Amino acid sequence: MSQIVSNAPLQEIKEEKVVGPWKEAWRSFKKSKSALFGMGIVLFFILLAMIGPYIAPQGINEQNLAERLAPPSSEYWFGTDDLGRDIFSRILHGTRISLTVGFTAVILSAVVGSFLGIISGYYGRWLDTMISRLFDIMLAFPSILLAIAIVSILGPSLQNALIAIAIINVPNFGRLIRSRVLTVKEEEYIHAARAIGMKNARILWRHILPNSMTPIIVQGTLAVATAIIEAAALGFLGLGAEAPTPEWGKMLADARIFLLNAPWAMIFPGLAIMLTVIGFNLMGDGLRDALDPKMKN
């Protein structure tokens, strides 16, 4: 039998491009319409925080008593409050305040909580027991009550409210990172690093922390929404921003007695809080689905 030799050209085998984990996460994130919608809301409010004070039609403390409690109109888009101040302008300024409080409080709590969680999970023993019991004690109290107690001790102010919000969120980051570190430190490359004499500080900085960033990012995004609500709650109770600061929670507190006569004075600050929180929650859910391997098919 004669051997049949095919003259057809051989098909070239194309090597697939290696996709990095962050690029793969972005591809997965883009598939979620709700996550993209949430990111759009967040970016919109961040843009307002950046340019809002410059495009505000009125000054935040500019009073016009002749137009007090005026309904929404072409001159006052969101109406005016009991002192004749433009609610739209005050909400624009309040966007920067609320986002600054949310981001700053979360960054502080993430740094402190991650440090304590990494130390607790990596070294273990009595240090782990002491830090874990501290987290348990803090989590035993409702977060808003603990924040109220801290602000009551420090004194009512926006800065002290920020500190209180940062403190009450530390255990959430600490416990999350501790559980991650307990898994990562048993990986083979960590044992290899110890075997070649790498110092613990270098292992924590070069290996443990980078491989624990995913839960920090997801928790941080969701925590910003929580921090904004907590700042608004403290402001509503008179323990946060003080007059005449245009903080959303404080605006709600000042307008609550005019709910029946001028409901717009409460509706628009409330909508601002609601939309911001929805945006961060939707984006956080999308990040969780994109970065958590357990959520992928």
Q: What is the pLDDT of residues 258-277, one digit of tens each?
A: 888 889 889 999 999 999 99
Q: Are the beta carbons of 96 and 55 closer than 8 angstroms? A: no
Band of residue 295 on the pLDDT scale cut at 50, 70, 90 = low
Band of residue 229 on the pLDDT scale cut at 50, 70, 90 = very high
Tokens of 170: 């530390």
Distance CA 143, CA 281 (A): 18
Q: What average pLDDT score do residues 160-178 get?
A: 92
Q: Are the beta carbons of 240 and 247 closer than 8 angstroms? A: yes
Q: What does the pLDDT read at residue 238?
A: 86
Is the predicted pLDDT of residue 76 greater than 70, yes or no?
yes
Give the start-to-end residue ranges of the domains of the chain.
44-57+94-295
Q: What does the pLDDT read at residue 8?
A: 47
CATH classification number, 44-57+94-295, choose in 1.10.10.10, 3.30.565.60, 1.10.3720.10, 1.10.580.10:
1.10.3720.10
Distance CA 110, CA 105 (A): 8
- Three-state secondary structure along 245-282? CCCHHHHHHHHHHHCCCCCHHHHHHHHHHHHHHHHHHH
Q: Are the beta carbons of 72 and 100 closer than 8 angstroms? A: no
CA Rg value for the chain = 26
0.75 surpassed by pTM: yes
Is the predicted pLDDT of residue 175 greater than 60, yes or no?
yes
Distance CA 243, CA 158 (A): 11
Lowest mean pLDDT among 10-19, 64-73, 80-89, 256-265: 10-19
Is the predicted pLDDT of residue 137 greater than 80, yes or no?
yes
- Note the pLDDT tens digit of each residue in 176-213: 888 888 888 877 877 787 788 788 788 888 888 887 78
